[in-house]
Amino acid sequence: MKRTLLIVVIAITALIPLAVWARTLSSGLPASAYLYSGGRVLALVGFVMVFYQFVLSSKVRWLERGIGLDRMFAMHRVTGVLALILLVIHPAFLFASDLAAGLIPTITPAKIGGAVTLTLLLAVAGAALLYRRLKWSYETWKRIHLASYLVLPAGLLHSLLFGSDTGGGLVRALWLAMAATYVAIVVAKLLRLADVRRHPYAVAAVTQETHDTWSLRFEGRPVHHQPGQFMTLQLGRQGRVSESHPFTICTSPTSAQLGVTIKAVGDFTATVRETTTQDQAYIDAPYGVFSFMNHDADRLVLIAGGIGITPFMSMLRYMHDRSLERQVLLLWGNKTERDIVFRRELDEMAAAMPTLRVVHVLSAQPDWPGEKGYITAELIQRCAPEVAQSQCFVCGPAIMMSKVLAALRQLGVPRRCTHYEKFALR
């Protein structure tokens, strides 16, 4: 509901300059006038999209609650693409207008300002779209992405100084409101960053869970979170502070410590094993809506792939500590037995919780006596005959999640009962 309302607000805000522009049109104008007018409205609507791209990626907690940060980032990507398309076409229309009027295009302060703003936007968008193909590190992408904080004020200054449609009235009021909101969000982000840096956490324990998976435990001020939510984490090691990365809080809210369990799959995660109890952590939490506590259901189907088990460990640990009675099926896909994290703890919880059933599915161990292969619709149906009447939670690699979500739809699970969260927040 909140997400729908946000989409409606974005649409209405984008329609304001469009409606004001439409009132200025009249018949009988030369083609150059229509091209010029069209170029102006493209810039106006494109700038609104740039504004919301900033808002959606700002991690404002009251806005994120009820939507989920991953869904807000998905909307952020959509508004970014729309902004890029509209603002790239904008100067083309103005250039065509000059040609249609028989004028020689000239270089003016307005055009220089617009070119600078567009170049910044192209740099940020290009980095987001191509950094994997260019084999850039996450840290490099993050630094380039900081340039997005210059796009909005540059575009605002350009449109207020040179845009003939922002000279007064409703559009100017909207532009000033967006400027005020931008300033408020930047101040809030700086205050939050300062607060996080003022309250570092001590690394209390570093534990190797499997051949490529490590757990970190932190001690510091309490974080009131739901089981399944996540944090953004920076590690301070050897005098350097890493970029922030999102990780599920795998400990229960009942625990005095915060914890994450990280698989070595990338540049940053491969260094987690180098962390020591002499290091510090900077934690911003909680985020996300991926928790069974947000849904009224006695029957839960939890489907994990690999390290996607972490939010479910938080949930199961909380259920165990609070003696909550839920009918829970955990379907967990891994390659081999050596990849199963927390195996002993899960066995102990299953023994202590009669309503919990754990099914391991291994894809690369032919001699495994249990379920083999991948988590398919047939396997889900066999293990959970009442899946269509359950709340289903899915977490794992992107390809696995896509296939499992399709299988759940095939089995008739309503979308309102299917929950997932993606942690590639970029």
- Indicate if 401 and 299 belong to the same structural domain: yes
- How far is the CA of 120 from the CAs of 46, 48, 114, 329, 355, in angstroms? 14, 16, 10, 49, 55
- Considering 230, 262, 287, which residue would you say is the last residue of a domain? 287
Q: Is residue 425 a part of any domain in this protein?
A: no
% of the chain at pLDDT higher than 90: 53
- Indicate if 168 and 55 belong to the same structural domain: yes
pLDDT class of 331 with cuts at 50, 70, 90: very high
Q: Is the pLDDT of residue 231 over 90?
A: yes
- Indicate if 33 and 164 belong to the same structural domain: yes
What is the arithmetic mean of pLDDT over 313-325? 95
pLDDT class of 425 with cuts at 50, 70, 90: very low
- Picking from 397, 201, 379, the residue whose alpha carbon sits closest to that of residue 285 is 201
% of the chain at pLDDT higher than 70: 91
Residue 109 or residue 187, greater confidence = 187
Contacts of 295 (CB under 8 A, 6+ apart): 391, 417, 419
Q: Is residue 130 a part of any domain in this protein?
A: yes
Predicted pLDDT at 1: 65
Predicted pLDDT at 107: 74
- Considering 175, 196, 217, which residue would you say is the last residue of a domain? 196
- Indicate if 191 and 237 belong to the same structural domain: no
Q: Is the pLDDT of residue 359 over 50?
A: yes
* Torsion sign (Cα): 271, 274, 280, 284: positive
Q: Is residue 426 a part of any domain in this protein?
A: no
What is the arithmetic mean of pLDDT over 292-321? 95
- Indicate if 390 and 306 belong to the same structural domain: yes
**pTM of the complete model:** 0.85
What is the arithmetic mean of pLDDT over 188-194? 93
151-155, 259-263, 363-367, range with the lowest pLDDT: 151-155
Q: Is residue 333 a part of any domain in this protein?
A: yes
- Indicate if 188 and 205 belong to the same structural domain: no
Q: What is the mean pLDDT of the chain?
A: 87
- Considering 129, 162, 196, which residue would you say is the last residue of a domain? 196
Residue 235 or residue 59, greater confidence = 235
pLDDT class of 220 with cuts at 50, 70, 90: very high
Identify the CATH number of the domain in which residue 259 sits.
Answer: 2.40.30.10
Residue 375 or residue 54, greater confidence = 375
Q: What is the distance between the terminal CA atoms of the chain, rounded to a whole angstrom?
A: 24
What is the arithmetic mean of pLDDT over 187-215? 95
What is the arithmetic mean of pLDDT over 257-272? 91
Q: Is the pLDDT of residue 420 over 80?
A: yes
What is the arithmetic mean of pLDDT over 151-160? 74
Token output for 413: 């699970």
pLDDT class of 377 with cuts at 50, 70, 90: very high
14-23, 159-168, 297-306, range with the lowest pLDDT: 159-168
12 three-state secondary structure: helix
Predicted pLDDT at 31: 81
What is the arithmetic mean of pLDDT over 33-55? 85
Q: Is the pLDDT of residue 166 over 60?
A: no
Strands 258-263 and 280-287: unpaired
- Picking from 287, 276, 191, 192, the residue whose alpha carbon sits closest to that of residue 232 is 287
Domain of residue 366 covers 292-420
The total domain count for the chain is 3
What is the DSSP annotation of 47-107?
HHHHHHHHHHTS--HHHHTTT-HHHHHHHHHHHHHHHHHHHHHHHHHHHHHHHHTTPPP--
Q: Is the pLDDT of residue 371 over 90?
A: yes
- Indicate if 265 and 278 belong to the same structural domain: yes
Q: Is residue 330 a part of any domain in this protein?
A: yes
- Indicate if 361 and 300 belong to the same structural domain: yes
Identify the CATH number of the domain in which residue 112 sits.
Answer: 1.20.120
- Indicate if 219 and 359 belong to the same structural domain: no
- Indicate if 269 and 348 belong to the same structural domain: no
Q: Is residue 65 a part of any domain in this protein?
A: yes
Q: Is residue 262 a part of any domain in this protein?
A: yes
Q: Is residue 23 a part of any domain in this protein?
A: yes
- Indicate if 245 and 337 belong to the same structural domain: no
Identify the CATH number of the domain in which residue 328 sits.
Answer: 3.40.50.80
- Indicate if 134 and 223 belong to the same structural domain: no
CA distance 165 to 110: 14
- How far is the CA of 417 from the CAs of 85, 230, 253, 391, 394, in angstroms? 35, 21, 24, 5, 11
What is the DSSP annotation of 284-309?
EEEE----GGGS--SEEEEEEEGGGG
Contact assessment for residue 50 and residue 3, using Cβ atoms and an 8 Å cutoff: no
67-81, 83-97, 159-173, 372-386, range with the lowest pLDDT: 159-173
